[in-house]
Structure 1
Amino acid sequence: MAISERIHFFRTMRNMTLKYLGTVIGFPEKSADVRLAQYENGSRKPKADLTAALAEALDVSPQALDVPDIDSEIGLMHTLFALEDMYGLTIAETDGELCLKVNKDKSSDELVQMLTSWKEQADKLSNDEISKETYDRWRYYYPKYDTSKIWAKVPSQELSDALTEAFKDYLKDK
């Protein structure tokens, strides 16, 4: 789905009008609906800063808006072919159903862990352990709410220097 369709999808999901979303992200009220319509109909593509503002207003991650263009079956097929080349995605039939499978031997451990985490969340939804709203929040902000992996942030050099300075006398005594 192109970014224009994703903007429309999330806007309608949030029950927002074009004018309302346009004004929330800072367009003048007189032209907010027209300006936003240009992004939704694909005549303009938002730059990174506008994509970030739209994502914040729509309460999703910017990555949830700017996904590969899979708005046609042909586009989707070529995306799937690329995933086959890059990650070992294969197609199979199981119990009369077509299934996409990830070859664990050809995929990174990180991708396998991410997909496993996705399956765990989907299973929780299926078993009524979480709501559709919780599941969608997990998906649309991925990896922010993923608890299956520690997404460590490296401290800044400034913080590291401050900690070193604060504890240097303590460390000398040891």
Structure 2
Amino acid sequence: MTIGENIKRIRERNNLTQKQLAYLSHISEGMIKQYETNVRTPKQDKVNQIAAALDVNPEVLDVPKNVVGEDMHALFRVFRNKNGKFDTAGNPQFNLPDIALWFDEWKKYQDTIASADLLSDKTERDALIAQAEDRFNYWMDIYPRSASLNHSFDDLYEEHRRKIEKPSRK
């Protein structure tokens, strides 16, 4: 995903218009449109403003430069920096305590998907899957704040969902 796609994805997840994001980030609506359509790439100070307005970490919006092997080298750096070792079966073992939090959230996501597969109503199943994906993405988007919350992340996520729900029209 591009930085523009990430801005748009999170803006839409938060039920914000481009105009609202412009107001919250103190950046013109025209610039937000240009960022989202990849006509322009925001400089770091603008990325920080947009991230603050979207209530996510700036790193969530940024993307690798697509240099050949960059993802693998990022993994190598983590392995080396976190004193990675190999177990007797040759599997990498990372000295990275927070990875357990990611796996916990991943398991919750997988469990919800499995329970959705048991539903016979396609609309209910699709809604449950969409909510599971949203919850997992939200957890990653606000990391490390989400990791420091542990058990209260569910409360934070519910508050997030209430904020973005569109009020029903009568």
Instruction: Give the structure-2-normalised TM-score.
Output: 0.57
Offset, 1:146: 1.0
Offset, 1:140: 0.8
1:157-168 superposed matches below 5 A: none
1:5-84 superposed matches below 5 A: 5-27=5-27, 32-69=28-65, 75=66, 78-83=69-74
Structure 1 stretches of 5 or more lacking a match? 70-74, 89-100, 150-174
What residue is the counterpart of 2:143 in the other structure? 142
Counterpart AA for 2:9: F
Offset, 1:49: 2.5
Structure 2 stretches of 5 or more lacking a match? 80-89, 113-130, 151-170
Structure-2 change in CA distance of 1:134 and 1:12 (3 Å): closer
Structure-2 change in CA distance of 1:102 and 1:12 (3 Å): farther
Q: Is the 8 A contact 1:39 1:45 kept in 2?
A: yes
Normalized per residue, the structure richer in helix is 2
Offset, 1:119: 0.6
Structure-2 change in CA distance of 1:76 and 1:125 (3 Å): farther
Offset, 1:8: 1.5
RMSD: 3.2
Distance 1:21 1:80 in 2: 30
What residue is the counterpart of 1:3 in the other structure? 3
- Aligned counterpart for 1:103 among listed residues 87, 92, 96: 92
Structure-2 change in CA distance of 1:19 and 1:37 (3 Å): same
Instruction: Give the structure-1-normalised TM-score.
Output: 0.56
Distance 1:65 1:46 in 2: 10
Counterpart AA for 1:127: D
1:87-102 superposed matches below 5 A: 87=78
Counterpart AA for 1:9: R
Look at both structures and tell me which one has the larger radius of gyration over its CA atoms.
Answer: 1
Task: Work out the number of aligned pairs and report it.
Answer: 123
Higher relative contact order (CA closer than 8 Å, sequence separation 6+):
2
Normalized per residue, the structure richer in strand is 1
> What SS does structure 2 have at the residue aligned with 1:127?
helix
Q: Is the 8 A contact 1:87 1:102 kept in 2?
A: no
Distance 1:83 1:67 in 2: 13
